[in-house]
C-alpha cells in the first residue's frame, strides 16, 4: 500500500468517490489524524449503506435511522471495514467533511488540516484485530507521507468535538494501536 502524494490516493484499495469534499485552505499543512466509527444501521455491519451515505444515495425508506440522516452531506477520507478492507472516499490532499464543529490545540474547523479515518464499528462493540492491524499500517504510512502528523496528533472524534461525539468509544484500544504502529514504523510486519 502506498500513497501517491500528487493525487492523495492510496494504491490497492477500493475507491468510492464522495462528492462531499472541497479544497483545503491555501498553504494548509495536514497535521492531524482523526479516528471515527460508523455503522449503518447503527450496530449493524456489512453491506453498502456506508458507501451510499458518503455518496449521498442512501435510501431513507430502507431503515428509520436512514430517514433521520437523510440529506446530511458527510464523508471521510477512508473506512476500514470489519474484515480489514480499506475504502477510500476522498483524496488525502482534499478536505473531507468528517469533523464537523471541532477544535484541536486551539484551532477550529479541523476538517481544514486533518485526515479522517472511519472504523466500521460502534463505541461499545470491540473492533476486530485486523482493523487494528490495517489501521496501524495506514497510520504509519500517513505519518511518513505527512510528517506533521505525530503520535500526539492522532485523536478520536471525541477529542475534537467532546460535547457532540464519543467515537471511537471506550472500547477502542489506543495502546494496541500504538504498539502495532511502533512495530510497523520500525520495519516489523503486523499480522492479524
What is the distance between the alpha carbons of residues 29 and 11, in angstroms, rounded to a whole number? 22
Measured from the Cβ of residue 188, the count of other Cβ atoms closer than 10 Å reads 10
CA distances 72 to 7, 86, 87, 115, 154, Å, are 26, 23, 20, 19, 26
Q: Is the dihedral of CA 122, 46, 191, 137 positive or negative?
A: negative
Is residue 118 part of the annotated active site? The answer reads yes
DSSP secondary structure string for all residues of 71-83: T-----SEEE-TT
Query: Which listed residue (118, 124, 148, 185) is catalytic?
Result: 118
Active site (catalytic) residues:
118
Amino acid at each position: 500500500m502506498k500513497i501517491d502524494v500528487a493525487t492523495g490516493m492510496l494504491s490497492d484499495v477500493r475507491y468510492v468517490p464522495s462528492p462531499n469534499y472541497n479544497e483545503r485552505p491555501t498553504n494548509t499543512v495536514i497535521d492531524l489524524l482523526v479516528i471515527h466509527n460508523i455503522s449503518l444501521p447503527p450496530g449493524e455491519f456489512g453491506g453498502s449503506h456506508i458507501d451510499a451515505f458518503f455518496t449521498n444515495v442512501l435510501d431513507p425508506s430502507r431503515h428509520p435511522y436512514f430517514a433521520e440522516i437523510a440529506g446530511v452531506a458527510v464523508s471521510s477520507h477512508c473506512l476500514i471495514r470489519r474484515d480489514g478492507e480499506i475504502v477510500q472516499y476522498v483524496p488525502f490532499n482534499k478536505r473531507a467533511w468528517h469533523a464537523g464543529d471541532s477544535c484541536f490545540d486551539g484551532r477550529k474547523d479541523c476538517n481544514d488540516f486533518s485526515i479522517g479515518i472511519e472504523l466500521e464499528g460502534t463505541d461499545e462493540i470491540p473492533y476486530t484485530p485486523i482493523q487494528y492491524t490495517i489501521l496501524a499500517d495506514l497510520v504509519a504510512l500517513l505519518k511518513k507521507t505527512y510528517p506533521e502528523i505525530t503520535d500526539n496528533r492522532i485523536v478520536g472524534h471525541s477529542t475534537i468535538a467532546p460535547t457532540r461525539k464519543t467515537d471511537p468509544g471506550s472500547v477502542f484500544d489506543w495502546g494496541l494501536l500504538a504498539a502495532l504502529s511502533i512495530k510497523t514504523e520500525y520495519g516489523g510486519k503486523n499480522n492479524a
